[in-house]
């Protein structure tokens, strides 16, 4: 390359030609400040590309209100079947754990030989007392016949009359003792106190039982209840007759109905119990732990698609598209969730135009390009939601 000296007559025209080329292509030229320093001109700001969004508005529908809770499953009531007589040996055990029994059904039997012998002895004493009463009554009748004739001393006559009364008392005592032995004989048959399911059996063949010894335990009528733990605020909303839905440990879905709400709360946990009756033919078993919900009723709800709600720093936001094509970040309060939608409790007006998706890429003040939303299917219309499709956000005791 050939270098042209600055003193060459071609130097000035070359500089002018280069400056003209720079001006022609639009490149920024350096500016010389007053102090002689050369400053670069500011570059033109490059506009950020706009994000294409579709718009949705909050829509209203009837949603069920629910309380989420958890708790254990218990027997509605337990029945204890014990021996009423003692000193007798078990000669028959007719049922086992898990068997369904009916009221009055024989579950076990005690040896009856001793009781039958004592009953026969008491029946003989009754016959003897009746004979003594017949003799005493005859003597008393004779004493009453000769009362006015003076044929019998007054002392003897009184003795016959009192003897009749004593014989009557002896007969009553003998009959009572006989009835006691009959009752004892009946007590050798161990019977169920109610319909239900055997949950415990502590008796074995050959055991000599004593009065009050527990032999069996049953779940009365096979009824199981869910004792749901709820807060004080939730307890105030529960009334008998409300429906409940449970999920058992195995994933089975069980329905129930509120029987009663506890009148007090636990002083340690500050939770109250809601007693929910479970159908007897359900797979629920006492001792299980279940989670579920109690349905309080139906209320109107304003909702948005889940894609229109963005979670940032623990808060929920939506981006409202303004008239100038820019978005405004709105902090919203959310509630229930169902079928891909979120209930909006506050932060948006019912007619707000909200970006349906893409909120994770937006910031407050960004410009967006609105595109028409695709035509919804007929099945996508907003309809009242079934009760089992709504989940509520509530504190559940662990």
CATH number, domain with residue 350: 2.40.30.170
Domain identity same for 211 and 313: no
The mean predicted confidence, pLDDT, of the chain is 82
- What pLDDT digit, counting tens, does each position of 201-249 carry? 999 999 999 999 999 999 999 899 999 999 999 999 999 999 999 999 9
Query: Which of 24-38, 81-95, 156-170, 251-265 has the weakest average pLDDT?
Result: 24-38
Runs of H (alpha helix) within 241-289: none
Domain identity same for 85 and 168: no
DSSP 160-228: HHHHHHHHHHHHHHHHHHHHHHHHHHHHTEEE-SSSEEEEEE---TT-EE-TT-EEEEEEETT-EEEEE
Q: How far apart are CA 305 and CA 94, in angstroms?
A: 62
Report residue 48's pLDDT band, with 50, 70 and 90 as the boundaries: low
Q: Indicate the angle between helix axes 113-145 and 154-187, nearest 10 degrees.
A: 160
Query: Which of 16-20, 175-179, 276-280 has the weakest average pLDDT?
Result: 16-20
Domain identity same for 266 and 308: yes
Q: Cβ distance 102 to 197 under 8 Å?
A: no
Domain identity same for 299 and 347: yes
Residue 396 lies in a domain: no
Residue 44 lies in a domain: no
Residue 50 lies in a domain: no
Give the CATH number, domain containing residue 183: 1.10.287
Domain identity same for 254 and 340: yes
- Residue 126's domain comprises 112-187
Domain count of the fold of the chain? 3
pTM: 0.62
Domain identity same for 95 and 67: no
Q: What is the pLDDT of residue 198?
A: 94
């Amino acid at each position: 390359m050939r270098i042209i000296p600055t003193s060459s007559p071609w130097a000035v025209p070359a500089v002018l030609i280069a400056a003209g080329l720079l001006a022609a292509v639009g490149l920024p030229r350096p500016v010389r400040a007053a102090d002689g320093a050369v400053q670069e001109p500011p570059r033109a700001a490059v506009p950020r590309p706009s994000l294409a969004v579709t718009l949705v508005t909050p829509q209203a529908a009837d949603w069920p209100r629910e309380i989420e809770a958890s708790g254990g499953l218990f027997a509605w009531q337990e029945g204890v079947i014990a021996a009423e007589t003692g000193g007798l040996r078990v000669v028959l055990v007719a049922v086992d754990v898990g068997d369904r029994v009916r009221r009055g059904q024989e579950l076990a039997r005690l040896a009856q030989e001793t009781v039958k012998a004592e009953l026969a002895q008491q029946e003989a004493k009754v016959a003897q007392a009746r004979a003594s009463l017949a003799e005493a009554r005859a003597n008393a009748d004779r004493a009453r016949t000769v009362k006015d004739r003076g044929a019998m001393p007054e002392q003897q006559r009184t003795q016959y009359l009192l003897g009749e009364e004593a014989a009557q008392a002896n007969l009553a005592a003998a009959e009572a003792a006989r009835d006691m032995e009959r009752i004892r004989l009946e007590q050798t048959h161990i019977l169920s106190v109610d319909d239900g399911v055997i949950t415990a059996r502590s008796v074995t063949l050959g055991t000599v039982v004593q009065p009050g010894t527990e032999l069996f335990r049953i779940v009365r009528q096979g009824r199981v209840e869910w004792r749901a733990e709820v807060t004080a605020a939730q307890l105030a909303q529960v009334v008998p007759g409300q429906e409940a839905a449970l999920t058992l440990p195995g994933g089975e879905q069980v329905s129930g109905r509120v029987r009663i709400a506890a009148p007090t709360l636990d002083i340690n946990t500050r939770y109250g119990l809601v007693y929910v009756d479970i159908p007897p033919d359900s797979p629920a078993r006492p001792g299980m732990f279940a989670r579920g919900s109690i349905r309080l009723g139906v209320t109107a709800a304003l909702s948005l698609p889940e894609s229109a709600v963005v979670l940032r720093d623990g808060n929920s936001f939506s981006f409202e598209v303004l008239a100038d094509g820019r978005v405004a970040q709105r902090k919203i309060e959310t509630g229930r969730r169902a079928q891909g939608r979120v209930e909006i409790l506050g932060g948006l007006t019912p007619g707000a135009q909200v970006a349906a998706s893409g909120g994770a890429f937006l910031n407050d003040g960004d410009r967006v390009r609105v595109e028409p939303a695709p035509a919804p299917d007929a099945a996508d219309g907003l309809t009242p939601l079934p009760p089992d499709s709504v989940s509520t956000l509530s504190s559940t005791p662990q």
